[in-house]
Amino acid sequence: MLTLPFKLRKLLIGVLALLAFGTAPGASAQVWRSAGLTGGDVRALAVDPRNPKVVYLGSTDGHLFISGDAGESWKLRGLIGKNSNAVVTALIVDSRHSSQIYASTWTREAAGEGGGVFTSLDGGASWRESSLGSHAVRALAQAASDPNTIVAGALDGVFVSHDRGQNWNRTTPEGDPELRNFDSLAIDPENAKVIYAGTFHLPWKTEDGGRHWSPIHDGMIDDSDVLSLAIDITDSQRVFASACSGIYRSNAAGASWEKIEGIPYSSRRTLVIRQDPARASLLYAGTTEGLWKSDDAGGTWKRISPRGWVINALVLEPTGEFPAGLADSNRSSRLLLGTEQQGIVVSDDGGTTFHAANEGFYHRRVLSVAVDAQDARHIAAVLANAPEPVVVSDDGGATWAPMKKGLGTERIVSIFALRGGWWATVASGGLFHYDEEHQAWLRTGVFWPMPAPPNSSGNADSKRQTVRPVVNDLYASEVGWFAATEQGLFCSRDEGRTWSSLRFSASELPVQSVRASRDGEALRIVSSGGMVFSDDGGRSWSWHDLPLESGGALQLEWSEQSTLFAEARTGLYISRDGATTWNKAGAGLPSARVEELLLSPGLWLVSIQSAGESGGLYASSDEGLSWSRVKSPGADDRAPTSAEFPVLAAGGTPERIFAGSASDGLYVLELDRALNADAGRTARSQMVDGGGH
């Protein structure tokens, strides 16, 4: 959690609340704009067969994007269904009605796996869930010869609809030990009753619309996970199957298979295989180690992309009429690759060259953001799904540069702007400091544990070793820095160069959170679900507990007065008497994990982490007695739809803040200067109930 000065927090609260209400007077003065950082993870792609310039993109968290220029730029269309944890496994644009789109999803919840099939009649603006709402659907296909027929492959069987997804019938025996875990589908283009289906363990086929199924794995390596199926556009008897064991081809409608040589086993999983409609002998295979190409129907292969690309989706767009006299061997379609981390990558020359096409596709997960207190244009960000996980901007977010040199394989968890520059906590433990002169990260900070107890002779052990603890939280007071770590609480008096343990218990318990007064005398920490306080710089400590139903404290916030706030697994708890008594926050705030808490007199703001509809921002103008859900920013060209902003940072001018969302990337929020003076008061007066629970 980022630590902001109290006055800045106060302004930030007012600004965010003001921006939350689209109907508020003066709302037009707010501006959301992306701070760059385009791209993200792509899971599904589909091209409109009646208008190839229209392309749809499905994300790993249930969102749909649309492109009107053949995939060069994108616009967020919205959420498919209501679950932002859903992976969009397949998209289909109806072959007769372009405004009708089908989408399948898969979710993994604590109670098990689920998902479903959804239908949109308005180009993805709104969605209707089908009767497969409780099924984890990983594959979806429409019959070319009978567009009314839609087939869904789920973890618990194959389902068929003969009325464009309105009603579904199971075609595989329920609970069958083999006919389950379906991952891919293909329908014979001339006969809708002939269906090929790939499972986590080999392929199957039906010739009567699903009444009878037969295994078709002669020639395949046993236990092959069939990830993709494709029927040759010139010969329906020829079928291609991509699997974890390689690529297979059948010239007998699946009766027997031969493994196609050429793609090394080191590429592991071939996630998708596609045939170029402009040139039948041209095949592309998207793998977990790049894109491969064959010019001779699979006889030989070569990798045509960087090895590090993971290709999840691949579509080929027609390029229009070919010039007269162009040899068939030179014809190829436009390639759109849906990747992990890289976003959308495009090639117009058969894979000779590629370029990124992520304009408008902002789908990074922001883990941490820090702004230089001396220069608000200097910003650093940590991202979860990006080829460069740590980036820095010197122009306020207009452009970004990688900031990974010196880290090696280390993974940054959080980044801080402290005196002396950028500081970062890493997953393996310890701290890194960014050396501006050498433009590289350097491991820094020597952590000394508590002195070892005397040995049998009465002397302390002289072999005491330094430690490299995992740092969970950093807090800087005016006289010292404090680190909450998995091996206890540490303090530095020399701006992070050396750290000494501050023991608060008989053993070195892990510390999740630390806050301190300006003079460093009053300390408030969270350890093992309990709260531990000191008012004398760590020389003595007292333990405090939340009510049992809280599940234990996770983080503490403190106004440096008598009011304390404990973020817990089941909600927000408040003490107004220095931790003597605790009460759960008032009506309207869900009983769910608190992700972020920001405080100012007269207005408190809480971000709730929840897989359901209760997640988002909640505000209270009566010191926590009652709460209202803050309306999320509207879905337009500039603003994200997510109501969850787990990362907030501000610096320099108060008109400008950075908001890192859970899935929509990093945004710059700008306000008209004239609104700032009354931001907090105006925001409170415009608080509305946006569907709170």
Task: Show the tokens assigned to 656.
Answer: 């400008």
Task: Give the residue-averaged pLDDT of 543-561.
Answer: 86
- CA 570 vs. chain centroid, Å, equals 23
Q: Would you state the pLDDT for residue 19?
A: 41
pLDDT(213) > 90: yes
DSSP state of 428: T
Q: Would you state the pLDDT for residue 658?
A: 77
* Side-chain-facing half-sphere of 631: CA atoms under 13 Å: 18
Task: Show the tokens assigned to 31.
Answer: 């501006």
d(C-alpha 36, C-alpha 398), whole Å: 6
d(C-alpha 350, C-alpha 138), whole Å: 29
* Side-chain-facing half-sphere of 192: CA atoms under 13 Å: 14
b/e sequence 290-325, b meaning 16+ C-beta within 10 Å: bbbbbbebbeebebbbeeebbbbbbbbbeeeeeeee
Strands of 31-34's sheet, edge to edge? 31-34, 666-670, 656-660, 647-650
Of the candidates 52, 57, 634, 662, the one whose C-alpha atom is nearest the C-alpha of residue 359 is 57
Task: Give the residue-averaged pLDDT of 582-590.
Answer: 87
Q: How confident is the model at residue 464 (pLDDT cuts 50, 70, 90)?
A: low
Q: Would you state the pLDDT for residue 661?
A: 82
Task: Give the residue-averaged pLDDT of 599-624.
Answer: 72
Lowest mean pLDDT among 269-278, 484-493, 664-673: 664-673
- Average predicted confidence (pLDDT) for the chain: 83
Lowest mean pLDDT among 136-145, 221-230, 537-546, 674-683: 674-683
Q: Would you state the pLDDT for residue 150?
A: 97
Lowest mean pLDDT among 81-90, 149-158, 468-477: 81-90
d(C-alpha 376, C-alpha 626), whole Å: 35
Task: Give the residue-averaged pLDDT of 618-645.
Answer: 65
Between 474 and 608, residue with greater pLDDT: 474
Task: Show the tokens assigned to 44.
Answer: 């599904």
Of the candidates 353, 354, 352, 349, the one whose C-alpha atom is nearest the C-alpha of residue 339 is 354
Q: Would you state the pLDDT for residue 450?
A: 66
Task: Give the residue-averaged pLDDT of 218-243.
Answer: 92
Q: Which residues pair with 500 in a beta bridge?
A: 448, 491
pLDDT(655) > 60: no
pLDDT(98) > 60: yes
d(C-alpha 361, C-alpha 290), whole Å: 21
Dihedral sign, CA of 424, 427, 431, 432?
negative
Q: Which domains does the chain have, with CATH numbers?
A: 6-36+364-452+464-685 (2.130.10.10)
Q: How confident is the model at residue 630 (pLDDT cuts 50, 70, 90)?
A: low
DSSP state of 675: H
CB-based contact 592:573 (threshold 8 Å): no
Strands of 157-161's sheet, edge to edge? 137-142, 150-154, 157-161, 169-170
Length of the chain as a residue count: 693
d(C-alpha 443, C-alpha 55), whole Å: 46
pLDDT(463) > 60: no
Provide DSSP, 11-35: HHHHHHHHHT-TTSTTGGG-EEEE-
Task: Show the tokens assigned to 387.
Answer: 């080829």
Q: Would you state the pLDDT for residue 420?
A: 77
pLDDT tens digit sequence for 322-357: 444 444 556 678 999 999 999 999 999 999 999 999
| Phi, psi angles (nearest 5°) of residue 482 | -125, 140
Task: Show the tokens assigned to 137.
Answer: 């659907």
Of the candidates 457, 377, 442, the one whose C-alpha atom is nearest the C-alpha of residue 405 is 442
**Which secondary-structure segment (H or E) carries 678?**
none
Phi/psi class of residue 655: alpha, beta or left (left: φ > 0; alpha: ψ in -120 to 50)? alpha
pLDDT(185) > 60: yes
Q: Would you state the pLDDT for residue 15?
A: 41
d(C-alpha 283, C-alpha 295), whole Å: 7
In the block, which residue shows the tokens 């040759």? 232
Lowest mean pLDDT among 193-202, 301-310, 570-579: 570-579
Ranges of beta strands (E only) in 222-294 are: 226-231, 239-243, 246-250, 258-260, 270-275, 283-287, 290-294
> How many CB atoms are closer than 10 A to CB 573?
21
Q: How confident is the model at residue 645 (pLDDT cuts 50, 70, 90)?
A: confident
d(C-alpha 610, C-alpha 622), whole Å: 24
Of the candidates 658, 656, 680, the one whose C-alpha atom is nearest the C-alpha of residue 670 is 656
Q: Would you state the pLDDT for residue 307?
A: 92
Task: Show the tokens assigned to 76.
Answer: 């967020």
pLDDT tens digit sequence for 140-151: 999 999 999 999
Helices (DSSP H) in 43-193: which residue ranges?
Answer: none
Please state whether beta strands 362-363 and 39-40 pair in parallel, antiparallel, or not at all (unpaired).
Answer: parallel
Q: Measured over all CA atoms, what is the biggest interatomic distance in the chain, rounded to whole angstroms?
A: 96
pLDDT tens digit sequence for 509-521: 999 999 999 899 9
Q: How far apart are the first and last CA of the chain?
A: 25
pLDDT(40) > 80: yes
* Side-chain-facing half-sphere of 112: CA atoms under 13 Å: 6
pLDDT tens digit sequence for 391-428: 999 988 888 999 999 999 999 999 999 987 999 999 99
d(C-alpha 344, C-alpha 370), whole Å: 28
pLDDT tens digit sequence for 19-37: 443 333 333 344 667 888 8
Q: Would you state the pLDDT for residue 455?
A: 56
CA distances from 450 to 214, 227, 249, 526, 635 (A): 68, 54, 65, 19, 53
Question: 409: Cβ–Cβ under 8 A, 6 or more apart, which residues?
Answer: none
Predicted model pTM: 0.81
In this structure, the dihedral spanned by the alpha carbons of residues 613, 617, 622 and 627, taken in order and rounded to 10 degrees, is 0
pLDDT tens digit sequence for 417-459: 998 799 999 999 999 999 988 999 999 999 988 665 555 555 5
